[in-house]
Structure 1
Amino acid sequence: MYLPEHFKVTDLAKISELIAAYPLAMLITISAAGEPLANHLPLLLDGSVDQGYRLLGHMARANPQWQDFSTSHEVLVTFQGPHAYVSPSWYKGSGVPTWNYAVVQVRGRPKIIDDETALEALLKQLTDSQELQYDTPWNLTLTDDQRTKLLGMIVGFEIEITEIVGKFKLSQNRPLADQQGVVDVLAQSSNFYELEIAQLMQNNLSI
Protein backbone atom coordinates (compact mmCIF):
# COMPACT_ATOMS: atom_id res chain seq x y z
CA MET A 1 0.00 0.00 0.00
CA TYR A 2 1.33 3.41 -0.95
CA LEU A 3 1.65 5.16 2.40
CA PRO A 4 2.97 8.73 2.67
CA GLU A 5 4.15 9.42 6.20
CA HIS A 6 1.52 12.10 6.93
CA PHE A 7 -1.29 9.57 6.25
CA LYS A 8 0.26 6.72 8.24
CA VAL A 9 -1.50 5.58 11.44
CA THR A 10 0.13 3.16 13.90
CA ASP A 11 -2.00 4.03 16.94
CA LEU A 12 -3.61 0.67 17.73
CA ALA A 13 -6.55 2.32 19.48
CA LYS A 14 -7.50 4.17 16.28
CA ILE A 15 -6.91 1.07 14.18
CA SER A 16 -9.00 -1.10 16.51
CA GLU A 17 -11.82 1.43 16.45
CA LEU A 18 -11.98 1.37 12.66
CA ILE A 19 -11.92 -2.45 12.51
CA ALA A 20 -14.69 -2.67 15.11
CA ALA A 21 -16.82 -0.18 13.17
CA TYR A 22 -16.12 -1.76 9.76
CA PRO A 23 -15.45 -5.47 10.44
CA LEU A 24 -16.25 -6.71 6.92
CA ALA A 25 -12.76 -7.31 5.57
CA MET A 26 -11.28 -8.41 2.27
CA LEU A 27 -9.11 -11.51 2.76
CA ILE A 28 -6.59 -11.96 -0.04
CA THR A 29 -4.56 -15.14 -0.62
CA ILE A 30 -2.41 -16.60 -3.39
CA SER A 31 -3.04 -20.19 -4.45
CA ALA A 32 -0.32 -22.77 -5.06
CA ALA A 33 -0.80 -22.04 -8.77
CA GLY A 34 -0.07 -18.35 -8.15
CA GLU A 35 -3.65 -17.18 -8.61
CA PRO A 36 -4.99 -14.42 -6.32
CA LEU A 37 -8.27 -15.00 -4.50
CA ALA A 38 -10.27 -12.47 -2.47
CA ASN A 39 -13.31 -12.93 -0.25
CA HIS A 40 -15.25 -10.55 1.99
CA LEU A 41 -15.56 -11.85 5.55
CA PRO A 42 -16.35 -10.27 8.93
CA LEU A 43 -13.25 -10.53 11.13
CA LEU A 44 -12.61 -9.77 14.78
CA LEU A 45 -9.41 -8.24 16.16
CA ASP A 46 -8.41 -10.13 19.31
CA GLY A 47 -5.42 -10.08 21.65
CA SER A 48 -3.23 -7.74 23.66
CA VAL A 49 0.10 -5.94 23.53
CA ASP A 50 1.69 -8.60 25.74
CA GLN A 51 0.27 -11.67 24.00
CA GLY A 52 0.15 -10.35 20.45
CA TYR A 53 -2.81 -9.75 18.16
CA ARG A 54 -4.75 -11.95 15.80
CA LEU A 55 -7.77 -11.80 13.54
CA LEU A 56 -10.54 -14.36 14.06
CA GLY A 57 -13.06 -15.50 11.48
CA HIS A 58 -14.68 -18.36 9.62
CA MET A 59 -15.84 -19.17 6.11
CA ALA A 60 -17.99 -21.78 4.40
CA ARG A 61 -16.22 -25.11 4.00
CA ALA A 62 -17.33 -25.00 0.36
CA ASN A 63 -15.21 -21.85 -0.06
CA PRO A 64 -11.88 -23.06 -1.52
CA GLN A 65 -9.86 -20.17 -0.08
CA TRP A 66 -9.07 -21.91 3.22
CA GLN A 67 -7.18 -24.56 1.26
CA ASP A 68 -4.64 -21.86 0.38
CA PHE A 69 -3.83 -21.26 4.06
CA SER A 70 -0.25 -22.02 4.97
CA THR A 71 1.68 -20.82 8.02
CA SER A 72 4.69 -20.38 5.75
CA HIS A 73 2.87 -17.81 3.60
CA GLU A 74 1.29 -14.58 4.76
CA VAL A 75 -2.18 -13.45 3.81
CA LEU A 76 -3.31 -9.88 3.25
CA VAL A 77 -6.41 -8.42 4.89
CA THR A 78 -7.88 -4.98 4.25
CA PHE A 79 -10.58 -3.13 6.17
CA GLN A 80 -12.32 -0.31 4.30
CA GLY A 81 -13.59 2.50 6.49
CA PRO A 82 -15.50 5.63 5.47
CA HIS A 83 -14.58 7.56 2.33
CA ALA A 84 -15.70 10.67 0.47
CA TYR A 85 -14.99 12.77 -2.59
CA VAL A 86 -13.32 16.12 -1.86
CA SER A 87 -13.87 19.08 -4.18
CA PRO A 88 -11.12 21.72 -4.53
CA SER A 89 -13.86 24.35 -4.30
CA TRP A 90 -13.98 23.64 -0.55
CA TYR A 91 -10.40 24.87 -0.05
CA LYS A 92 -9.36 28.39 0.81
CA GLY A 93 -6.53 28.06 -1.68
CA SER A 94 -6.07 26.23 -4.97
CA GLY A 95 -6.15 22.47 -5.32
CA VAL A 96 -7.35 19.48 -7.32
CA PRO A 97 -10.15 16.93 -6.79
CA THR A 98 -9.25 14.04 -4.49
CA TRP A 99 -10.71 11.35 -2.26
CA ASN A 100 -10.42 11.08 1.51
CA TYR A 101 -10.63 7.69 3.20
CA ALA A 102 -9.58 5.52 6.11
CA VAL A 103 -8.34 1.95 5.68
CA VAL A 104 -6.44 -0.65 7.68
CA GLN A 105 -4.14 -3.23 6.12
CA VAL A 106 -3.04 -6.39 7.93
CA ARG A 107 -0.51 -9.06 7.06
CA GLY A 108 -0.35 -12.31 8.96
CA ARG A 109 -0.05 -16.08 9.04
CA PRO A 110 -3.31 -18.07 8.99
CA LYS A 111 -4.06 -21.15 11.05
CA ILE A 112 -7.14 -23.36 10.72
CA ILE A 113 -9.07 -24.10 13.92
CA ASP A 114 -10.00 -27.80 13.75
CA ASP A 115 -10.98 -28.59 17.33
CA GLU A 116 -14.79 -28.67 17.64
CA THR A 117 -14.86 -27.08 21.09
CA ALA A 118 -12.51 -24.29 20.01
CA LEU A 119 -14.53 -23.74 16.83
CA GLU A 120 -17.79 -23.42 18.76
CA ALA A 121 -16.12 -20.98 21.17
CA LEU A 122 -14.90 -18.99 18.16
CA LEU A 123 -18.44 -18.75 16.78
CA LYS A 124 -19.72 -17.57 20.13
CA GLN A 125 -16.98 -14.93 20.41
CA LEU A 126 -17.69 -13.65 16.88
CA THR A 127 -21.45 -13.58 17.50
CA ASP A 128 -21.18 -11.91 20.90
CA SER A 129 -18.94 -9.17 19.49
CA GLN A 130 -21.91 -8.03 17.38
CA GLU A 131 -24.90 -9.04 19.51
CA LEU A 132 -23.77 -7.26 22.68
CA GLN A 133 -24.67 -3.90 21.14
CA TYR A 134 -28.38 -4.81 21.33
CA ASP A 135 -30.72 -4.57 24.34
CA THR A 136 -31.64 -8.25 24.05
CA PRO A 137 -28.62 -10.03 22.53
CA TRP A 138 -29.19 -13.31 20.72
CA ASN A 139 -27.20 -16.11 22.34
CA LEU A 140 -25.57 -18.91 20.38
CA THR A 141 -26.81 -22.21 21.84
CA LEU A 142 -26.64 -25.38 19.76
CA THR A 143 -28.17 -28.80 20.17
CA ASP A 144 -25.92 -31.77 19.44
CA ASP A 145 -27.47 -32.18 15.98
CA GLN A 146 -27.16 -28.47 15.21
CA ARG A 147 -23.56 -28.43 16.41
CA THR A 148 -22.54 -31.35 14.20
CA LYS A 149 -24.29 -29.91 11.15
CA LEU A 150 -23.18 -26.29 11.57
CA LEU A 151 -19.56 -26.93 12.50
CA GLY A 152 -19.23 -29.35 9.60
CA MET A 153 -20.25 -26.62 7.16
CA ILE A 154 -17.64 -24.04 8.16
CA VAL A 155 -13.90 -23.63 8.61
CA GLY A 156 -12.71 -21.48 11.50
CA PHE A 157 -9.37 -19.72 11.39
CA GLU A 158 -7.12 -17.22 13.11
CA ILE A 159 -4.51 -14.98 11.52
CA GLU A 160 -1.43 -14.22 13.61
CA ILE A 161 -0.70 -10.59 12.79
CA THR A 162 2.81 -9.78 11.62
CA GLU A 163 2.06 -6.24 10.46
CA ILE A 164 -0.87 -3.88 10.94
CA VAL A 165 -1.05 -0.30 9.73
CA GLY A 166 -3.69 2.29 9.00
CA LYS A 167 -3.90 4.84 6.24
CA PHE A 168 -6.13 7.77 7.17
CA LYS A 169 -6.05 10.13 4.21
CA LEU A 170 -7.83 13.12 5.75
CA SER A 171 -6.33 16.13 3.96
CA GLN A 172 -3.42 16.30 6.44
CA ASN A 173 -1.24 17.51 3.55
CA ARG A 174 -3.41 20.64 3.26
CA PRO A 175 -3.32 23.80 5.39
CA LEU A 176 -5.51 23.68 8.47
CA ALA A 177 -7.97 26.16 6.93
CA ASP A 178 -8.48 23.81 3.97
CA GLN A 179 -8.99 20.83 6.27
CA GLN A 180 -11.64 22.78 8.15
CA GLY A 181 -13.29 23.77 4.88
CA VAL A 182 -13.67 20.11 3.91
CA VAL A 183 -15.07 19.24 7.34
CA ASP A 184 -17.60 22.07 7.17
CA VAL A 185 -19.01 20.87 3.85
CA LEU A 186 -19.04 17.13 4.59
CA ALA A 187 -20.60 17.69 8.01
CA GLN A 188 -23.71 19.03 6.24
CA SER A 189 -24.11 15.91 4.10
CA SER A 190 -26.89 13.34 4.39
CA ASN A 191 -24.49 10.59 3.26
CA PHE A 192 -23.36 8.29 6.08
CA TYR A 193 -19.78 7.87 4.85
CA GLU A 194 -19.33 11.59 4.28
CA LEU A 195 -20.54 12.31 7.81
CA GLU A 196 -18.14 9.67 9.16
CA ILE A 197 -15.21 11.18 7.25
CA ALA A 198 -16.14 14.64 8.54
CA GLN A 199 -16.12 13.35 12.12
CA LEU A 200 -12.85 11.48 11.60
CA MET A 201 -11.27 14.61 10.13
CA GLN A 202 -12.56 16.71 13.01
CA ASN A 203 -11.02 14.30 15.51
CA ASN A 204 -7.66 14.49 13.69
CA LEU A 205 -7.79 18.11 12.56
CA SER A 206 -4.50 19.19 14.14
CA ILE A 207 -2.47 16.30 12.71
Structure 2
Amino acid sequence: MYIPKIYKNENQEEIRNFIHENGFAILVNLTSGKLWATHIPLLLEKDETGNEILTGHVAIENPQAKSFKDNKDVLVIFSGAHSYISSSWYDHENVPTWNYLAVHIYGNLKIINHEKAVASLKRLVDKYEEKSKKPIKVDDLSNKTMQQARGIVAFEILINSIEAVKKMSQNRDDKDYKNIITELEKTNDNQAIEVANEMKKCSR
Protein backbone atom coordinates (compact mmCIF):
# COMPACT_ATOMS: atom_id res chain seq x y z
CA MET A 1 0.00 0.00 0.00
CA TYR A 2 1.08 3.59 -0.50
CA ILE A 3 2.48 5.03 2.75
CA PRO A 4 4.15 8.45 2.89
CA LYS A 5 7.33 8.15 4.95
CA ILE A 6 6.01 10.33 7.78
CA TYR A 7 3.12 7.90 8.35
CA LYS A 8 5.03 4.62 8.04
CA ASN A 9 5.03 2.58 11.25
CA GLU A 10 8.10 0.36 11.66
CA ASN A 11 7.74 -0.36 15.38
CA GLN A 12 7.47 -4.15 15.26
CA GLU A 13 6.19 -4.58 18.82
CA GLU A 14 3.51 -1.94 18.22
CA ILE A 15 2.47 -3.63 14.96
CA ARG A 16 2.11 -7.02 16.61
CA ASN A 17 0.07 -5.58 19.49
CA PHE A 18 -2.13 -3.87 16.92
CA ILE A 19 -2.79 -7.17 15.12
CA HIS A 20 -3.60 -8.86 18.43
CA GLU A 21 -6.05 -6.11 19.39
CA ASN A 22 -7.62 -5.81 15.92
CA GLY A 23 -7.72 -9.46 14.92
CA PHE A 24 -10.89 -9.34 12.80
CA ALA A 25 -9.29 -9.08 9.37
CA ILE A 26 -10.03 -9.16 5.65
CA LEU A 27 -8.44 -12.04 3.73
CA VAL A 28 -7.97 -11.22 0.03
CA ASN A 29 -6.84 -13.42 -2.85
CA LEU A 30 -7.58 -14.20 -6.48
CA THR A 31 -10.52 -16.62 -6.70
CA SER A 32 -11.86 -17.85 -10.05
CA GLY A 33 -10.16 -14.99 -11.84
CA LYS A 34 -11.44 -12.19 -9.62
CA LEU A 35 -10.45 -10.59 -6.32
CA TRP A 36 -12.24 -12.16 -3.36
CA ALA A 37 -12.40 -11.02 0.26
CA THR A 38 -13.57 -12.75 3.43
CA HIS A 39 -13.98 -11.12 6.85
CA ILE A 40 -12.58 -13.46 9.51
CA PRO A 41 -10.70 -13.47 12.84
CA LEU A 42 -7.02 -14.39 12.58
CA LEU A 43 -4.32 -15.12 15.13
CA LEU A 44 -0.70 -14.02 14.89
CA GLU A 45 1.41 -16.96 16.02
CA LYS A 46 4.67 -18.82 15.35
CA ASP A 47 5.05 -22.18 13.64
CA GLU A 48 7.22 -25.10 14.77
CA THR A 49 10.33 -23.50 13.23
CA GLY A 50 9.75 -20.08 14.81
CA ASN A 51 8.44 -18.33 11.70
CA GLU A 52 5.62 -15.85 12.19
CA ILE A 53 2.30 -17.00 10.76
CA LEU A 54 -1.36 -16.07 10.76
CA THR A 55 -3.86 -18.84 11.49
CA GLY A 56 -7.57 -19.00 10.75
CA HIS A 57 -10.32 -20.70 8.80
CA VAL A 58 -13.14 -20.14 6.33
CA ALA A 59 -16.31 -22.10 5.61
CA ILE A 60 -15.79 -25.02 3.27
CA GLU A 61 -18.64 -23.67 1.09
CA ASN A 62 -16.77 -20.39 0.59
CA PRO A 63 -15.43 -20.33 -3.01
CA GLN A 64 -12.24 -18.82 -1.62
CA ALA A 65 -11.53 -22.08 0.19
CA LYS A 66 -11.36 -23.96 -3.11
CA SER A 67 -8.93 -21.40 -4.55
CA PHE A 68 -6.33 -21.97 -1.82
CA LYS A 69 -5.00 -25.09 -3.55
CA ASP A 70 -4.07 -23.19 -6.71
CA ASN A 71 -3.48 -19.63 -5.48
CA LYS A 72 -1.46 -19.42 -2.29
CA ASP A 73 -0.64 -15.68 -2.46
CA VAL A 74 -2.84 -13.70 -0.08
CA LEU A 75 -3.21 -10.20 1.33
CA VAL A 76 -4.55 -9.73 4.86
CA ILE A 77 -5.85 -6.33 5.98
CA PHE A 78 -6.17 -5.32 9.63
CA SER A 79 -7.97 -2.03 10.34
CA GLY A 80 -7.95 0.05 13.50
CA ALA A 81 -9.21 3.40 14.71
CA HIS A 82 -10.10 5.97 12.05
CA SER A 83 -11.82 9.34 11.88
CA TYR A 84 -12.53 12.32 9.65
CA ILE A 85 -10.33 15.35 10.37
CA SER A 86 -11.94 18.71 9.55
CA SER A 87 -9.60 21.41 8.27
CA SER A 88 -11.69 23.88 10.29
CA TRP A 89 -9.68 22.61 13.25
CA TYR A 90 -6.46 24.13 11.83
CA ASP A 91 -5.32 27.72 12.30
CA HIS A 92 -4.95 28.09 8.52
CA GLU A 93 -6.80 27.13 5.35
CA ASN A 94 -6.22 23.56 4.19
CA VAL A 95 -8.06 20.47 2.98
CA PRO A 96 -9.84 17.99 5.28
CA THR A 97 -8.32 14.53 5.70
CA TRP A 98 -8.71 11.21 7.49
CA ASN A 99 -6.64 9.76 10.33
CA TYR A 100 -6.36 5.98 10.58
CA LEU A 101 -4.37 2.90 11.56
CA ALA A 102 -3.95 -0.14 9.31
CA VAL A 103 -1.66 -3.10 8.70
CA HIS A 104 -1.28 -5.09 5.47
CA ILE A 105 0.31 -8.53 5.53
CA TYR A 106 1.41 -10.40 2.41
CA GLY A 107 2.02 -14.12 2.60
CA ASN A 108 1.63 -17.67 1.36
CA LEU A 109 -1.28 -19.76 2.56
CA LYS A 110 -1.09 -23.46 3.45
CA ILE A 111 -4.10 -25.60 4.28
CA ILE A 112 -3.69 -27.55 7.55
CA ASN A 113 -5.14 -30.91 8.62
CA HIS A 114 -8.18 -31.45 10.86
CA GLU A 115 -6.15 -32.04 14.02
CA LYS A 116 -4.29 -28.74 13.58
CA ALA A 117 -7.56 -27.03 12.63
CA VAL A 118 -9.20 -28.03 15.93
CA ALA A 119 -6.11 -26.90 17.88
CA SER A 120 -6.28 -23.55 16.06
CA LEU A 121 -9.98 -23.25 16.92
CA LYS A 122 -9.19 -23.84 20.59
CA ARG A 123 -6.64 -21.02 20.65
CA LEU A 124 -8.99 -18.66 18.81
CA VAL A 125 -11.91 -19.37 21.14
CA ASP A 126 -9.68 -19.07 24.23
CA LYS A 127 -8.55 -15.62 23.11
CA TYR A 128 -12.04 -14.23 22.72
CA GLU A 129 -13.60 -16.06 25.66
CA GLU A 130 -10.99 -14.64 28.01
CA LYS A 131 -13.23 -11.75 29.12
CA SER A 132 -16.44 -13.77 29.33
CA LYS A 133 -18.07 -14.28 32.73
CA LYS A 134 -18.58 -17.96 31.90
CA PRO A 135 -15.95 -18.75 29.26
CA ILE A 136 -16.55 -21.81 27.11
CA LYS A 137 -13.87 -24.26 26.08
CA VAL A 138 -13.79 -26.15 22.79
CA ASP A 139 -12.87 -29.28 24.77
CA ASP A 140 -16.20 -29.03 26.63
CA LEU A 141 -18.31 -29.03 23.46
CA SER A 142 -20.15 -32.21 22.52
CA ASN A 143 -19.06 -34.43 19.65
CA LYS A 144 -22.26 -33.46 17.84
CA THR A 145 -21.40 -29.77 18.05
CA MET A 146 -17.78 -30.37 17.07
CA GLN A 147 -18.91 -32.08 13.87
CA GLN A 148 -19.32 -28.52 12.57
CA ALA A 149 -15.53 -28.28 12.52
CA ARG A 150 -15.70 -30.61 9.51
CA GLY A 151 -17.31 -27.72 7.65
CA ILE A 152 -14.26 -25.45 7.69
CA VAL A 153 -10.99 -25.15 5.82
CA ALA A 154 -8.24 -24.11 8.23
CA PHE A 155 -4.93 -22.65 7.21
CA GLU A 156 -1.63 -21.05 8.13
CA ILE A 157 -0.25 -18.00 6.34
CA LEU A 158 3.53 -17.70 6.26
CA ILE A 159 4.27 -13.98 6.41
CA ASN A 160 6.43 -12.55 3.63
CA SER A 161 6.10 -8.85 4.41
CA ILE A 162 4.27 -6.42 6.68
CA GLU A 163 3.27 -2.83 5.88
CA ALA A 164 1.85 -0.60 8.61
CA VAL A 165 0.43 2.91 8.39
CA LYS A 166 -0.12 5.22 11.34
CA LYS A 167 -1.62 8.45 9.99
CA MET A 168 -2.20 10.58 13.06
CA SER A 169 -1.67 14.19 11.94
CA GLN A 170 2.11 13.94 12.39
CA ASN A 171 2.48 16.65 9.71
CA ARG A 172 0.74 19.28 11.87
CA ASP A 173 2.39 21.70 14.28
CA ASP A 174 1.84 21.39 18.03
CA LYS A 175 -0.98 23.93 18.13
CA ASP A 176 -3.04 22.22 15.41
CA TYR A 177 -2.18 18.77 16.74
CA LYS A 178 -3.54 19.56 20.20
CA ASN A 179 -6.61 21.24 18.75
CA ILE A 180 -7.38 18.18 16.59
CA ILE A 181 -7.32 16.01 19.72
CA THR A 182 -9.65 18.41 21.53
CA GLU A 183 -12.11 18.53 18.63
CA LEU A 184 -12.10 14.74 18.22
CA GLU A 185 -12.94 14.35 21.91
CA LYS A 186 -15.89 16.72 21.53
CA THR A 187 -17.56 14.51 18.91
CA ASN A 188 -18.72 11.82 21.35
CA ASP A 189 -17.95 9.36 18.54
CA ASN A 190 -16.16 6.22 19.73
CA GLN A 191 -13.88 6.00 16.68
CA ALA A 192 -12.95 9.68 16.90
CA ILE A 193 -12.17 9.41 20.60
CA GLU A 194 -10.04 6.34 19.94
CA VAL A 195 -8.09 8.31 17.32
CA ALA A 196 -7.63 11.13 19.87
CA ASN A 197 -6.26 8.60 22.37
CA GLU A 198 -3.87 7.21 19.75
CA MET A 199 -2.67 10.74 18.95
CA LYS A 200 -1.94 11.33 22.62
CA LYS A 201 0.31 8.24 22.61
CA CYS A 202 2.21 9.26 19.48
CA SER A 203 5.79 10.43 19.80
CA ARG A 204 6.32 13.31 17.35
TM-score by length of 1: 0.90
Deviations 1:120-157 (A, max 9, x none): 1110001111111234322112333333x212111111
Instruction: State the number of aligned residues.
Output: 202
Residue range with higher mean Cα deviation, 15-24 or 79-88: 15-24
Matching residue's letter, 1:126? L
Report the equivalent of 2:106.
Answer: 107
The residue that corresponds to 2:16 in the other structure is 16
Instruction: Show the counterpart of 1:164.
Output: 162
Could you tell me how far 1:20 is from its partner in structure 2? 2.3
Equivalent in the alignment of 2:78: 79
Q: SS of the residue aligned with 2:186? A: coil
Give ranges in structure 1 of 5+ residues lacking alignment: none
* Secondary structure of residue in 2 paired with 1:171: coil
Distance between the aligned counterparts of 2:186 and 2:157, measured in 1? 39
Aligned partners of 2:59 and 2:152 also within 8 Å: yes
Q: Which amino acid aligns with 1:188?
A: K
Identical amino acids, percent of aligned pairs:
35
For 2:172 and 2:14, how far apart are their aligned partners in 1? Answer: 21
Look up the SS of the partner of 1:187 in the other structure.
helix
1:111 counterpart letter in structure 2: K
Q: What is the one-letter code of the residue matched to 1:51?
A: G
Question: What SS class does the counterpart of residue 138 from structure 2 fall into?
Answer: coil
- 2:128 corresponding residue in structure 1: 130
Give 5+ residue unaligned stretches, structure 2: none
Deviations 1:7-33 (A, max 9, x none): 1112122212222222211111013x4
* SS of equivalent residue, structure 2 residue 121: helix
Greater shift after overlay, 178-187 or 132-141? Answer: 132-141
Tell me, yes or no, if structure 1 residue 203 matches structure 2 residue 181. Answer: no
Aligned Cα root-mean-square deviation (Å) = 1.9
TM-score when scaled to structure 2? 0.91
How far apart, in 2, do the equivalents of 1:19 and 1:65 lie? 22
Post-superposition Cα deviations, 1:63-99, rounded to whole Å, max 9, x if no partner, equal 1102222587420010111111101111133321111
Letter paired with 1:37 = W
After superposition, the C-alpha distances for 1:164-190 in whole angstroms (9 at most, x for unaligned) are: 121011111122221111111112331
Q: Which amino acid aligns with 1:91?
A: Y
